Amino acid sequence: MLDKKQKRIMIGRRIAEELNDGDFVNLGIGMPTEVANHIPLGVKVYFHTENGMLGVGPAPKPGEEDKDLINAGAGYITETAGASYFDSCLSFAIIRGGHLDMTVLGALQVDQEGNLANWMIPGKLVPGMGGAMDLVTGTKNVIISMEHCDKHGNSKILKKCTLPLTAAHCVNMIVTDMAVMRVTEKGLLLEEIAFWTNVDDVIKATDADLIIPEKVGIFGNQ
């Protein structure tokens, strides 16, 4: 079995393969940020943060933090050459206007129709949606990065989300520690499984109905 860190790296690396040269990308807080560590050679991407910047660079060296230069998760960032700052209105005009090529976000639940729930658990946890609703509504390619099951072993990929939605029919692709799935008009297509598991185990670990193609790819075995 993989540990948490290995899973995170495997997922981040696999999502990074979806990047095209010149893409504008917004990475959510937590696991999605791992994607930035695996940009393929020859691919140049530009990172957007919804608090108002394009051209986000990596975290600064300790001691070189600028308290007024943060990403949407309040993490310190740096500025790359060719960066730009703008206000929140323009930042969300970029998002909602369909100008971002990809966003990678975590999820509490995703379902086979591409519905996403990632902003509240009624009666328990209500952090608020922040920019997530805009990001998944506006961005061309919405990729979910998460572990396949929750800490109790329950599938986070459902036939139908039970938590309040972040948006309906918004998810394009789901990458977990077990599988790569694409939301299609016919349903949730199992495109790849992780090197360490098998199709039957993925099906068992998934509440959603999976469409199993003739050939299922393998990922993570680098």
Helix (H, G, I), strand (E, B) or coil at 187: strand
Q: Is 163 in the site for another protein (CB under 8 A)?
A: no
- The dihedral built from the CA positions of residue 129, 131, 136 and 137, taken in this order, carries a sign that is positive
Residue 141 within binding range of another protein, rule CB under 8 A: no
Q: Active-site residue among 34, 50, 113, 191?
A: 50
Distance CA 94, CA 36 (A): 20
Among 2, 9, 83, 203, binds another protein (CB under 8 A): 83
Binding range to another protein, per CB under 8 A, among 5-13, 75-83, 146-154, 205-213: 75-83
Shortest gap between Cβ of 2 and another protein (angstroms)?
A: 28
Residue 102 binds to another protein (criterion: CB under 8 A): no
50 is catalytic: yes
Start-to-end CA distance of the chain, whole Å, equals 16
Binding status of residue 49 toward another protein by CB under 8 A = yes
Nearer residue to another protein within complex by CB, 79 or 201: 79
Does residue 160 touch another protein according to CB under 8 A? no
CA distances from 69 to 49, 66, 77, 90 (A): 11, 5, 6, 18
217 binds another protein (CB under 8 A): no
- Least distance from another protein to the Cβ atom of residue 65, Å: 12
User: Residue 48, SS3?
Assistant: strand
Distance separating alpha carbons of residues 171 and 61, to the nearest angstrom: 35
What whole-number distance in Å separates Cα of residue 75 and Cα of residue 144? Answer: 21
The verdict on 44 binding another protein (CB under 8 A) reads yes
Q: Which amino acid is at 194?
A: A
d(CA 80, CA 158) in angstroms, rounded, equals 40
Contacting positions for another protein (CB under 8 A)? 22, 24, 44, 46, 48-55, 66-72, 74, 79, 81-100, 115, 125-134, 137-138, 164-169
* Active-site annotation, residues: 50
